[in-house]
């Protein structure tokens, strides 16, 4: 439902999925505590505090774990709130068959709005296992389902809708368009589960499901909803595999790496992109290969391997500059000089090459779409600040703020500008710094 609130903490997700209000949950905790001989004074305010980040005491956690049937050893091993049973994702457990893909997509349509903001759902062994499953999974065969016939014209119409939505995302940011993307995913999933179609249309539908699930995940990520974004990416990965589109699958794995590295799990991103490159089709265009190696450079750079990152960056640049006669895939039509120079700037900045990094980032911001200008302005500001150019840094940051004030809605851009603002603490008494911080503080947040 469009008006349904998003869960912002794992406990909130537990309550939402079970239909418990705060007061009802508090009563359940007290009642269950009495059966265990553990008196609790849990009330609605207590539950609210837990959802805001306060950790329940040992007795409350013991009662809650027993209520949710979570083993004691899991509680001790994982700690709060990791032991809460919210991390299961259908896309990880369903079989890698056509029916399993439809099941994963249907689960997304029903519960994809749930997001554990700030908590990555898929990490560690689950993430590695997902990548391995993508490599090993067989392509599915057609299984006609009862319902109306899905025509080529219908699929083409939806494809055009997704193309338009992707263009609008570049201009306005994902936060404002997320509901439209969710609606399109529900439409495609409904056609897959209830429609009647030929083998050729079936493959087009799964390919379309992969595109729209990825776009929805990207918009969720741009809106600051990391966990929801991850789940949509799993749906995209499965759909691409069912459609036999392993090039797009490699692309999804590369994109998933962004989520985990920004959460500090840099080594996992290196593993993901390595899996993507090692198992991608040999027929990839130079542009697509450039994209993958650019992600590898970024992953290695974040993980501290600056020399290896430089090698991967050179490979990406060389592939990009190669004259290509192959037609690039539609899902990569946004990739170009601006993205290449943006990653180049980040890699150079982390390795201490401030002047070259600044030049690359300036080129990137100048040629980027509005939403990307807003996101990348903070990185350019960071580079200029590192080079001792405070006013130039503020000029770049204020440009990003201006875009967020006028047309772009991106929580990601806002968060990065806030991170840059924290770097200005040594200059907090400079009038232009105070003005920038006040302007940033007044920005509305649209999610």
Say what the pLDDT of residue 145 is.
37
Domain identity same for 188 and 232 = yes
Domain identity same for 19 and 96 = no
Domain, as residue range, for 222: 92-244
Please state, in angstroms and rounded to a whole number, the distance separating the CA atoms of residues 67 and 89. Answer: 21
| Alpha helices for 71-198 (secondary structure H) | 72-78, 90-93, 98-111, 124-136, 152-172, 178-194
List 149's β-bridge partners, or say none.
196
Last residue within a domain, chosen from 78, 108, 124? 78
Domain identity same for 53 and 180 = no
List 196's β-bridge partners, or say none.
149
List 205's β-bridge partners, or say none.
none
Residue ranges of the chain with pLDDT lower than 50? 1-7, 116-118, 138-146, 447
Number of H helices, E strands in the chain: 22, 0
Domain identity same for 50 and 159 = no
Say what the pLDDT of residue 321 is.
86
Of 297, 261, 260, 254, nearest in space to 276 by CA: 254
Say what the pLDDT of residue 4 is.
38
Say what the pLDDT of residue 93 is.
61
Does the residue 316 lie in any domain? Answer: no
Say what the pLDDT of residue 5 is.
38
Query: Are the C-beta atoms of 416 and 379 separated by less than 8 Å?
Result: yes
Question: What global pTM score does this model have?
Answer: 0.69
Say what the pLDDT of residue 8 is.
52
Domain identity same for 74 and 99 = no
Domain identity same for 130 and 97 = yes
CATH number, domain with residue 437 = 1.25.40.10
Number of domains present in the structure of the chain: 3
DSSP designation for 311: H
Tokens 């060389």 sit at which residue? 318
DSSP designation for 323: -
In 178-313, beta strands by DSSP E: none
Does the residue 329 lie in any domain? Answer: no
Q: List the structure tokens of 140.
A: 């599915």
Domain identity same for 104 and 24 = no
Please state, in angstroms and rounded to a whole number, the distance separating the CA atoms of residues 29 and 12. Answer: 15
Does the residue 305 lie in any domain? Answer: no
Query: Are the C-beta atoms of 400 and 374 separated by less than 8 Å?
Result: yes
Say what the pLDDT of residue 333 is.
83
Say what the pLDDT of residue 7 is.
43
CA angle in degrees (0–180, nearest 5) for 267-272-276: 150
Tokens 């201006």 sit at which residue? 402
DSSP designation for 368: S
Say what the pLDDT of residue 126 is.
57
């Amino acid at each position: 439902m469009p008006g349904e609130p998003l869960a912002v903490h794992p406990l909130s997700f537990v309550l939402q999925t079970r239909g418990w209000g705060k007061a009802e949950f508090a009563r359940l905790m007290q009642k269950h505590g009495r059966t265990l001989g553990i008196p609790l004074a849990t009330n609605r305010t207590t539950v609210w505090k837990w959802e805001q980040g306060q950790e329940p005491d040992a007795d409350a956690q013991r009662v809650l774990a027993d209520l949710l049937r979570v083993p004691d050893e899991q509680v001790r091993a994982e700690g709060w709130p990791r032991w809460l049973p919210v991390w299961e994702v259908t896309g990880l457990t369903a079989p890698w068959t056509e029916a399993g893909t439809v099941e994963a997509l249907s689960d997304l349509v029903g519960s994809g709005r749930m997001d554990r903001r700030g908590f990555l759902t898929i990490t560690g062994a689950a993430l590695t296992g997902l990548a391995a499953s993508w490599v090993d999974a067989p392509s599915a065969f057609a299984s006609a389902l009862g319902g109306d016939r899905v025509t080529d014209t219908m699929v083409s119409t939806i494809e055009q809708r997704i193309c338009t939505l992707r263009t609008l995302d570049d201009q306005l940011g994902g936060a404002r368009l997320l509901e439209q993307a969710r609606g399109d995913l529900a439409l495609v999933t409904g056609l897959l589960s209830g429609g009647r179609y030929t083998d050729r249309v079936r493959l087009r539908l799964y390919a379309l499901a992969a595109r729209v699930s990825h776009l929805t995940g990207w918009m969720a990520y741009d809106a600051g909803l990391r966990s929801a974004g991850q789940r949509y990416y799993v749906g995209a990965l499965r759909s691409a595999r069912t459609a036999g589109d392993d090039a797009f699958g490699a692309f999804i794995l590369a994109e998933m790496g962004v989520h985990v590295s920004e959460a500090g799990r840099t080594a996992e991103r290196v593993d993901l992109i390595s899996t993507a490159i090692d198992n991608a089709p040999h027929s990839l265009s130079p542009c697509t290969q450039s994209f993958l190696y650019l992600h590898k450079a970024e992953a290695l750079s974040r993980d501290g391997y600056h020399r290896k990152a430089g090698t991967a960056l050179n490979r990406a640049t060389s592939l990009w500059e190669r004259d290509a006669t192959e037609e690039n895939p539609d899902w990569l039509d946004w990739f170009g000089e601006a993205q290449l120079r943006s990653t180049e700037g980040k890699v150079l900045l982390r390795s201490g090459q401030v002047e070259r990094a600044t030049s690359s980032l300036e080129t990137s911001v100048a040629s980027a779409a509005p939403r990307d200008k807003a996101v990348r302005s903070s990185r350019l500001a960071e580079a200029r600040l590192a080079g001792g150019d405070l006013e130039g840094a503020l000029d770049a940051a204020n440009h990003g703020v201006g875009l967020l004030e006028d047309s772009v809605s991106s929580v990601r851009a806002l968060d990065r500008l806030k991170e840059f603002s924290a770097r200005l603490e040594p200059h907090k008494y400079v009038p232009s710094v105070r003005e920038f911080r006040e302007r940033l503080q007044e920005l509305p947040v649209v999610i």
